[in-house]
């Protein structure tokens, strides 16, 4: 068949008609991926890029994993979609059971949606409705507490609990009111404060807010261990456990948003496991279907679930759902992704990769234009500075982090900054050699951009 569409046509259409997410379209340079293989993306001109941000934090086992590809094809031969309203697919039922078994503690019930923002919305609505119809109802519990610089998605409800001014400030008139706890970033206390002091301080701040507001609080929402969109802010050890203890003490439900950190990102299947925490709601997305297809989930326990049971006329039903909730193709990808975790020993094989990333970050910390580096599992982050003695950032308008990523792209590594923060967050399947390539390229790009 003759193909008269040129790459130049595609770039033109892409620029003109495809309004990209979180992208200033006036400066958008089309980057059009045609295929992928393992941790490499390949564009329409045949150029290859290492996927250093895991296709925005979701790819787990690499692209075109033969088993995931095959599982989706097999499902396709049976049924591509059926609704979750009053029915469902066998594949999705198997996935629900698998997630219930895998999740920490007693999170037995799985509500599916198609994206992370919706998974958070579902948790917020479940928590709200729970207090209206649980035994000894507490209908005054209508509010939520969330952390400074939180990110829970872009829909109005999930943005309401979000706290990143450059994303959320403009929409403030549309958002509901939230009790905001200060960002638990140890750097806020200066370089000499110990992690223990940071944990105590932040839990003290939270306790005061809970004391003042617990009567009206339905739930607290938190990104466990790492607030990714905030710029890879890493909480001090023990903070999450303390949050769980305080929320229990004040009878405030806990929503753990593991959309970014779930599925091995911080070294364990779920971040909550690292502090022995069982939340009341666990929100999953991004890596749930291996990063292949849109799928998210909100898990909860019997206490919440049972409050929604009753005869039809009692109106206890959760009136919420999405057309593609529990989609069978995505469920097939998710199920086999969990098999791959087992069969390829993905988590056990992560430690040397985490260590190798740590070696690179350790060296980078000595770089004369790197302020500090930090790491949690297979997430590494750093800021650039013109003056190492003070660590002050470059003027924001110079966009050095952005420039650095343009430079790595020209050298075959795709990264994307978060404002002034440079980070790497590759698929868990990345090899040691690819980690070396990614980090060596990042250093070369930093050299170029900081000598300008
Ligand atoms: C990405 C993300 C979301 C939103 O997920 P979408 O699928 O983009 O709607 C929510 N919370 C966290 C922590 C995320 O990283």
What confidence tens digit (pLDDT) does each residue in 171-205 have? 999 999 999 999 999 999 998 999 999 999 999 99
Give the pLDDT score at 229.
Answer: 98
How large a percentage of the chain has pLDDT more than 70? 100
In a domain, 55, yes or no: yes
For the chain, helix, strand, coil in percent to 5 are 45, 15, 40
**What residues pair up with 375 in beta bridges, in sequence order?**
380
Same domain as 277, residue 175: yes
pLDDT confidence bin for 452, thresholds 50/70/90: confident
User: Which pLDDT belongs to residue 442?
Assistant: 98
Give the Cα-Cα-Cα angle 167, 171, 177 (nearest 5 degrees): 105
Mean of per-residue pLDDT scores for the chain: 97
Predicted local distance difference test score (pLDDT) of residue 146: 98
Question: Are residue 204 and residue 311 in the same domain, yes or no?
Answer: yes
CA-angle at 97, arms to 92 and 100, nearest 5°: 120
Task: Tell me the pLDDT tens digit for each residue of 205-235.
Answer: 999 999 999 999 999 999 999 999 999 999 9
* The two structure tokens encoding residue 418: 């978060």
Mean pLDDT across 236-262: 98
If we measure between CA atoms, which residue out of 111, 425, 87, 77 comes closest to residue 295? 111
Domain count of the fold of the chain: 2
CB 39 within 8 A of CB 63: yes
> Mean pLDDT, to the nearest integer, of 105-132?
98
The Cα–Cα gap between 404 and 210 comes to: 42
Residue ranges around ligand 1 (CB below 6 Å): 115-117, 120, 151-153, 223, 228-229, 257, 259-260, 285-286
Residue 270 has pLDDT above 90, yes or no: yes
- What tokens appear for 380 in the block? 């590494």
Q: Domain span at residue 373?
A: 31-60+347-450
Residue 334's closest CA among 288, 367, 390? 288
Whether residue 199 sits in one domain with residue 101: yes
The protein residue whose alpha carbon is closest to atom 15 in ligand 1 is 260
Residue 69 predicted with pLDDT over 90: yes
Pair (435, 421) in one structural domain: yes
Residue 3 CA to residue 46 CA, distance in Å, equals 17
- Does residue 322 have a pLDDT over 90? yes
Show which of 316, 343, 370 is a domain's final residue.
343
C-alpha angle 24-185-227 in degrees, rounded to nearest 5: 50
Both 376 and 338 in one domain: the answer is no
Q: Which atom of ligand 1 is nearest to the CA of 155?
A: 9
> CA-CA distance, 287 to 384, in Å (whole number)?
29
Q: Which of 224, 219, 253 is nearest to 237 (CA)?
A: 224
Quote the tokens at residue 214: 């617990």
- The answer, yes or no, to whether residue 99 has pLDDT greater than 70, is yes
Is residue 287 within 8 A of residue 60, CB to CB? The reply is: yes
CB 164 within 8 A of CB 230: yes
Q: Provide the whole-model pTM.
A: 0.98
Return the ligand 1 atom nearest residue 154 CA.
Answer: 9
* 235 falls within a domain: yes
Residue with tokens 């911080």: 266
Q: How far, in Å, is the centroid of ligand 1 from the Cα of 84?
A: 22
Q: Are 144 and 179 in contact, with CB atoms under 8 Å apart?
A: yes
pLDDT attached to residue 293: 98
pLDDT tens by residue, 389-447: 999 999 999 999 999 999 999 999 999 999 999 999 999 999 999 999 999 999 999 99
What is the pLDDT confidence band of residue 1, given thresholds at 50, 70 and 90? low
Q: Which atom of ligand 1 is nearest to the CA of 116?
A: 5
Among 298, 318, 343, identify where a domain stops.
343
Q: How far is ligand 1, taken at its centre, from the CA of residue 146, in Å?
A: 15
> Which pLDDT belongs to residue 11?
98
For residue 2, the model assigns a pLDDT of 58
Are 80 and 187 found together in one domain?
yes
Name the 3-class secondary structure at 431: coil
Residue 200 within a domain? yes
168 falls in which pLDDT band (50, 70, 90)? confident
Among 113, 229, 258, 425, say which to mutate for ligand 1: greatest number of ligand atoms within 8 Å of CB.
229
Over its C-alpha atoms, the chain yields an Rg (Å, rounded) of: 22
For residue 290, what pLDDT is reported? 98
CATH number of the domain where residue 390 is located: 3.90.1150.10
pLDDT value of residue 191: 87
Residue 84 included in any domain:
yes
Q: Which phi-psi region, left, alpha or beta, contains residue 64 (left: φ > 0; alpha: ψ -120 to 50)?
A: left
Element (H, E) at 102: helix 90-102
For residue 337, being part of any structural domain is answered with yes
In a domain, 20, yes or no: no
The DSSP 8-state label assigned to residue 222 in this structure reads E
Domain identity same for 274 and 390: no
pLDDT, residue 369, reads: 98
Whether 208 is covered by a domain: the verdict is: yes
Choice from 112, 149, 153, 262 to test ligand 1 binding pocket (greatest atom count within 8 A of CB)? 153
């Amino acid at each position: 068949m003759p193909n008269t569409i040129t790459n130049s046509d595609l770039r033109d259409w892409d620029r003109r008609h495809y309004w990209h997410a979180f992208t200033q379209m006036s400066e958008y340079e089309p980057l059009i991926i045609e295929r992928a293989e393992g941790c490499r993306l390949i564009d329409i001109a045949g150029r290859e890029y290492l996927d250093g941000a895991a296709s925005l934090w979701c790819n787990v086992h690499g692209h075109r994993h033969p088993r995931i590809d095959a599982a989706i094809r097999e499902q396709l031969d049976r049924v591509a979609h059926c609704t979750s309203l009053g029915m469902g697919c066998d594949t999705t039922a198997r996935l629900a059971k698998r997630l219930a078994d895998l999740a920490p503690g007693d999170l037995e019930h799985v509500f599916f949606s198609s994206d992370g923002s919706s998974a958070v919305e579902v948790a917020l609505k479940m928590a709200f409705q729970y207090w209206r119809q649980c035994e000894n109802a507490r209908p005054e519990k209508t509010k939520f507490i969330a952390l400074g610089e939180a990110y829970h998605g872009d829909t109005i409800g999930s943005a309401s609990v979000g706290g990143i001014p450059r994303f959320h400030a403009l929409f403030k008139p549309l958002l509901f009111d939230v009790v905001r706890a200060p960002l638990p970033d140890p750097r806020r206390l200066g370089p000499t404060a110990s992690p223990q002091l940071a944990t105590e301080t932040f839990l003290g701040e939270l306790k005061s807010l809970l004391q003042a507001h617990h009567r009206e609080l339905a739930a607290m929402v938190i990104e466990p261990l790492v607030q990714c969109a905030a710029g890879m802010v890493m909480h001090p050890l023990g903070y999450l456990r303390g949050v769980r203890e305080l929320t229990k003490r004040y009878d405030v439900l806990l929503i753990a948003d593991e959309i970014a950190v779930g599925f091995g990102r911080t070294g364990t299947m779920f971040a909550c496991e690292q502090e022995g925490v069982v939340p009341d709601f666990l929100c999953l997305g991004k890596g749930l279907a291996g990063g292949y297809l849109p799928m998210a989930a909100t898990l909860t326990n019997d206490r919440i679930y049972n409050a929604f049971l009753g005869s039809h006329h009692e109106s206890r039903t959760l009136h919420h759902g999405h057309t593609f909730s529990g989609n069978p193709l995505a469920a097939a990808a998710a199920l086999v992704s969990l098999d791959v975790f087992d069969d390829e020993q993905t988590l056990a094989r992560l430690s040397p990769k985490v260590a190798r990333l740590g070696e690179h970050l350790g060296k980078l910390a000595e770089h004369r234009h790197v302020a500090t580096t930090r790491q949690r599992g297979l997430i590494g982050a750093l800021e650039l500075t013109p003056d190492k003695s003070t660590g002050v950032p470059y003027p924001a308008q110079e966009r050095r982090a952005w420039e650095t990523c343009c430079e790595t792209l020209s050298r075959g590594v795709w990264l994307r900054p978060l404002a002034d923060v440079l980070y790497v967050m590759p698929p868990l399947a990345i090899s040691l050699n690819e980690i070396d390539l990614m980090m060596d390229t990042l250093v070369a790009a930093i050299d170029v951009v900081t000598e300008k």
